[in-house]
Amino acid sequence: MAASFFGQEFSNAYLRTTLLTIPSRMKLVISKILVLSIIVLGIGIISNLICLGIIIGQYQRILTFPLVNNFLTQVMIAMLSWLFITWLTASLILVTKSQTIPIAIMFSLILGLSQMFAALTKFAKYLPDLATMNLFFSNHAPNLLNGYQGLLVQFFWTLNCFIIGLLLIHYQDVR
């Protein structure tokens, strides 16, 4: 979603037209990130409510406070990971000025390239998708980071790429 939301600006040259009107480039990027974040969080909340309904219906559980509290705690952390991946993809688009390259990078990492790297080196656990993989496992993998460490690693990936992307968009020529 982030690749399409940001990438269309570069592939269809809409960004050139937008930047010719001399808007505040930082406000433009921040507002797009804010809208994208609201969309991702909205989709996350809807899908998690559906999951909670399935849990209650499938396992005939009674909706108790500890069940809802445990579920919401785990889900909010996972949604934060989704948000970081979304922001990372958007910042990669700002860095590469392409819609295709960030999609290729993120899909190949998520679909198994990072796991192939993990077979070669122990430092692959610091890749943005493997960093938070234990958030989504019921049995935690000992060779991966725990959830909070993974979120911190994902945050630093996102922050570094986002700063580079903001600097590039701020100082780049319209052409």
pLDDT tens across 112-163, in order?
Answer: 888 888 889 889 888 888 888 877 777 778 888 887 888 999 999 999 999 9
Token pair 């409510």 is found at 49
**pLDDT mean across residues, the chain:** 82
DSSP secondary structure letter of residue 133:
G
> What share of the chain in percent tops pLDDT 70?
86
Say how far apart CA 143 and CA 134 lie, in whole Å: 10
What is the per-residue pLDDT across 8-36, written as a single tens digit (0 to 9) for each?
A: 666 666 666 666 666 677 888 888 889 99
**Which are the contacts of 12, defined by CB distance < 8 A and separation ≥ 6?**
none
Say how far apart CA 128 and CA 156 lie, in whole Å: 9
Q: N- to C-terminal Cα distance for the chain?
A: 25
Say how far apart CA 81 and CA 84 lie, in whole Å: 5
The pLDDT score that the predictor gives to residue 27 is 83
